Each structure stands twice: as C-alpha cells, then as structure tokens.
Chain A
C-alpha cells in the first residue's frame, strides 16, 4: 500500500479492472435517492406546519403531503427498472438477509407509505366525508373506507383528528429521517468505494434531501398558483425560503466537509478521490455542483435573507433559486452515484459513463419516471384539493 499511496505516478497507465469498465449503478440509482429526497423534504414542510405549528406554512402544508405521496408512490420504480431480475423483488421482503443494509428498504418504505397515507386521510377527512355523502356505489364504498367509516365532523372529532395527525407526523419525522439517512448509508456502507465510504454520507443525503424537497414545494407552489391565476402567499414563501436556506447551508457545508476530510486526512486512496474530483468530475462537481448550483444560490439566499425585496421579485427569485437547488441536488446525486463508480477499484484509473437514450435505465426512462408523479398529483388533486378556500382569503 505504500506504493499505492506514494504518488499519482501510479495513474500513468489509467488501468481499470476489466469488470469496472461498466458502470453498474446508473441513472435509475441516481433517481432513487433523488426521489426519496424529494419525499423527505416535502414531508419536512408538512411536519413544520402540523407538528411545530409554523402557521405561515399552512398554504403548502396539504400540498406538501400530496407531493410526498405522489413521489413516494413511484420511489420503487427506479429500483425495479434497475434490478436485473425485477420479478424477484419480493425476495427482499420475503427472505431478507439481516446483514444487508439494502434488505431494510422494503420495510422502511412500507412504513413511510403507510404513515403518509394515514396522515393524508386524516387531514382530508372533512373533504372525504363530503365526497362520501355525494357519491354512490363502489365510489361510496371507497370513501367509506377512506373516512374509516366515520362521518362525525363534530368539534371533538376534529380535535381527535388533529391529535392523530400530530402523532402520525411525530412518528413520521424519524421515519422520514431513517428513510433517507438509510439511503445515504447504502452508499456510505460500501467500504470498497473510497468516495462513498464515509459516515458523513447519510448526513449529506439527509440535508440535501430536505433541500430538494423544500425547493420542489416552493417551485411547484409558485408555478401551479401562477398557472391557475391565483395569488401567492408571500409569508409562506418567505418561511419556505428561510427553512431552505438553513438546510442548504447545512447540506453544502457537509458536502464540502467530506471533500475536505478526504484531502486533509489523506486516508486510503485519497489521491484517487482527488483525481476523480479534479479529473472526470471536474466539470460536474466543481463547476456545476459547487460553483453554479451552490455558491450562486447561497449568495442569492443571503441577499433574500438580509435585504428587503419587493414581493414579486422575491417570489420570482424564490422560484429561480429553488429550480437551481433542485438541479444542485440532482447533480450531487449524479456525482456521488455515477462519479463514485468512475473510479476503478484498481486505484489506477477511471472509467467513463455515457448515458443511453432508450435503455431501461436510459434518459427517456428517467423522463418518464419523473413525469409519473406529476400525473399522480393531477389525479390526486381531483379527490384531494391542494388548497383550501381558507388559503385564498389569507393571500393578498
């Protein structure tokens, strides 16, 4: 190992182990943590309102829950597309190996899904009771099930609903944290890969998840409201941006701390990690992830936090900065998942990755997977209204 660490001279041959030429985890595994991250971030917004009583988030609280559900519903899709034998996916639930971190996903996912669904059913119980009264046949049966066969909308019943919602959100927070922290651990637990193998990985994934989810809620809220010709709640956007700023500072700090740790500790194969960031990932990491999509938003968020800005400009800037941060997290996922695999375990070279268009893990598949949650959201909006009339009176 002395020679391995002695200098970059060993890279002269750019030797990649023959089985490392192919990148085994491609774009679907980039999407998987991205999607669960969106779910987590959206859930945080809902939790801030329902559990921590951040009243200004009321306009987006219900929408955040539906957004989380829409993305959670397809969180397994990238994994199924990635698996070599997707028809055997239930093996993970039926005969999981207790020693494997990955084996826990099915259970964590199922619990997350259950909690989000129950929260939504209690949050929307009033609407569902009304829908039940006006529906017939099998639809009525469906609404009966969704309202837990209760049409009681009395004051006491509503108070009980609120208590249940608070309880569910309360247990939902650790579940959401586990869901995404665990996704980070999937990578952090691979000791064979020096770029992944760091205890910081779950923390980085968690904070960046919050960043992507909150950004998505801000952007979606502004775009949908604008498209529908409705007003935008400025207080809500301000609170979202402040929350986003906090999480982004944490996320970016830890992302940089990881790079600094490799460089400072000079731990095993650090020369390869540095070579990766300054070589194959020089553009996607330093230019795109750090300079364009992190430093610029950080500066903009600072300006938004310090100076008083016209509401319209503030909202427009909020949408733009959210869009950039959504891209930042996607690029970060790319750099971790794809970038980490570019480094051969030979510690002597880097392979290349060229995305394909029509592969089952190709660009077209990525676009389709990312479009499905929006279709689900559209369908959900027919049953569960995004905004309450109360919201309309709040906004001026």
Chain B
C-alpha cells in the first residue's frame, strides 16, 4: 500500500509520471466509448446513399498494438493471421529501410531493434488494413461472387458462398486476406461493417489512443475525414500503380511505405 507522501515522491521522480503520459488523451477517442458515427445511429440506414473513408495518420501512430488486439478480439482472428497489423519502419542514415512486424504488431513495439548496425535517422509505424478498393481485384477474381462490393462501398466476403479457392488472396496487392484455418474460407478486414451499420466506429478506430486511425462518413461535412480529404493536406494511397482506387488513405506516409 502506497501512502500519499510516497506517491507524490514517485510522481516527482518520474516513475509514475512516465506512465501518466501513456494514458494522456492525444486528440484520440480513447475516452468516449463506444464512439458513434454521427448521423447513423437511430436512423434508417440508406445503403445506397452512403460513402465512407478511412484515414491512417502515420505521424500519430505509436505502435502500441491496441488496434490489433481490438481486432483480434472482435473477430477471434486465429493466430498467425491478420485482418490488420502495424509495421515498424526504421530508416538508417545510409537510407536503408528496415521493416518488421512481429506478430503483426499485436504485442506492440516495446523494444528497439538490436540488429541494426548503423545510426538511425528516423522511425515510424504504419498500420495496415483492407484498402476497400473501388476497383477491387479480389472482387474481380472471385469465381463465385462470394467477395462483393456492397452498395455503400464495402468490400465484403459472404462466408456462406466462399469456396476457399484463395484466388482473392493471390489477387489482393495488399495481402490483407487470408484463409481462415477454422472456417476454411477467405477472411479480411471489413472496417467493422457490422459496427458501422449500427453507427459505431470500427473497433480499431475506437481503441486507437492517438487518433492515428480515423473513420467517418463523407456525406457528413462536419466529419474529420471529410475535412481532411477535402482539405489541402497531402494524402496518399498504397500501390497507386495497381489501379485499385482505395478508400483507405494515408496521411504522412513516407515514400518508402508499400
């Protein structure tokens, strides 16, 4: 049991102060839970008049892995498979890029890499998830139409139709798909479509402590994603040359990010 005096003492010498910073709200959404998407909950969902966007702000990601944990719990994702993951990029002064993602970043990045022999110029984290392509190769190649684009723009998998051929896995340029070893059908991130239909934010967005993952409606001019996407800031998409036209945008992603 810690008395008031020793508590203050520890705060002052930094033992507890450091941990306080970890839970300090940084413009994210960790306090108000569950966060709602304005204009959806309690109203009739008009599937034909919806447009959503997902923005990953690389400059805000701290690689804590909370998003990955939330996702794994939300979907009971089998070990070794990932609907979302976080990559760690380390850039040396020689311009060499060192990327890793042990367990998909599920455990967070608690330790620095010890296998790099040069001075580090920069390091950053990049969350990855389904790009919700408007021209989705996975949808094109699915032989039975189990993968489809919903009228509100989500690339989804009908697990009752999927034959488990894995052609969609081959076709996805972003490798966000896997064959679930339990159900034997293709699985991928849906941006938590079941939550969105209820007006709730995707699980990963909700738990992100820094606001690195942003999601919202493009039909709502007051939404953060609307303001960012319509604003002057530079946003990029992954593998633009693939012609997939993702609805997932990256803010602050360096050119080394693939």
Contacts and interface: CB of A to CB of B under 8 A. Distances in A.
Interface of A: 1-4, 9-10, 12-13, 15, 17-22, 24-25, 79, 82-86, 88-89, 91-92, 95-97, 99-103, 105, 186, 189-193, 268, 341, 344-348
Contacts, number: 149
B255 A1 contact: yes
A1 B255 CA distance: 7
Number of chain B interface residues as a range: 35 or more
Contact of A100 (B142, B169, B186, B255): B142
Interface stretch (B32-40, B56-64, B157-165, B206-214): B157-165
A96 B144 contact: yes
Contacts of A95: 144-145, 161
A348 B163 contact: no
A269 to B, nearest CB: 9
Nearest to B161: A91
B184 A190 contact: no
Interface string B127-143: 01000000001011111
A91 B258 contact: no
Contact of B167 (A22, A102, A191, A348): A102
B175 interface: yes
Task: Name the residue among B97, B186, B256 with the largest chain A CB count within 10 angstroms.
Answer: B97
B143 A96 contact: yes
26 contacts: A3-B256, A9-B95, A9-B96, A12-B97, A15-B100, A17-B175, A19-B178, A22-B178, A79-B165, A82-B166, A84-B184, A91-B146, A91-B161, A92-B143, A95-B161, A99-B141, A101-B141, A102-B167, A191-B173, A192-B137, A192-B171, A192-B172, A344-B175, A345-B173, A345-B174, A346-B258
Given A189-B141, A192-B173, A18 B166 contact: no
Interface string B67-108: 000000000000011100101000000111111110110000
Given A12-B96, A19-B82, A85-B184, A346 B166 contact: no
B247 interface: no
Contacts of B175: 17-20, 344-346
Nearest to A85: B164
Given A17-B101, A84-B166, A95-B144, 19 more contacts: A9-B96, A13-B97, A13-B99, A17-B175, A19-B169, A22-B80, A82-B166, A84-B162, A88-B162, A91-B143, A92-B143, A95-B145, A96-B143, A100-B143, A102-B143, A190-B141, A341-B170, A345-B173, A346-B175
A348 B99 contact: yes
Contact of B163 (A1, A3, A89, A193): A89
A13 B116 CA distance: 10
A97 B142 contact: yes
A83 B96 contact: no
B100 A13 contact: yes
B182 to A, nearest CB: 10
Contacts of A341: 170
- Most chain A C-beta atoms within 10 Å of own C-beta, residue among B100, B169, B175: B175
B258 A83 contact: no
B218 interface: no
B176 A19 contact: yes
A25 B96 CA distance: 32
A353 to B, nearest CB: 14
B155 to A, nearest CB: 14
Contacts of A25: 166, 170
Given A84-B184, A92-B143, A100-B142, A192 B97 contact: no
Contacts of B166: 24-25, 82, 84
Contacts of A1: 240-241, 255
A103 B145 CA distance: 9
Contacts of A102: 141, 143, 165, 167
B146 to A, nearest CB: 8
Contacts of A13: 97-100
Given A3-B97, A4-B258, A100-B142, A193 B165 contact: no
Contact of A82 (B139, B165, B174): B165
Contact of A103 (B100, B144, B183): B144
Contacts of A186: 167
- Looking at B98, B184, B240, B258, the one whose CB has the most chain A CB atoms below 10 A away is B258
B83 to A, nearest CB: 9
B241 A268 contact: yes
B47 interface: no
A100 B185 contact: no
Nearest to B87: A15
A352 to B, nearest CB: 14
B137 A191 contact: yes
B179 interface: yes
Contacts of A18: 80-82, 85, 101, 103-104, 175
Nearest to B172: A192
A308 B218 CA distance: 78
B101 A15 contact: yes
A17 to B, nearest CB: 4
A92 B101 contact: no
A92 B82 CA distance: 27
Contact of B258 (A19, A103, A348): A348
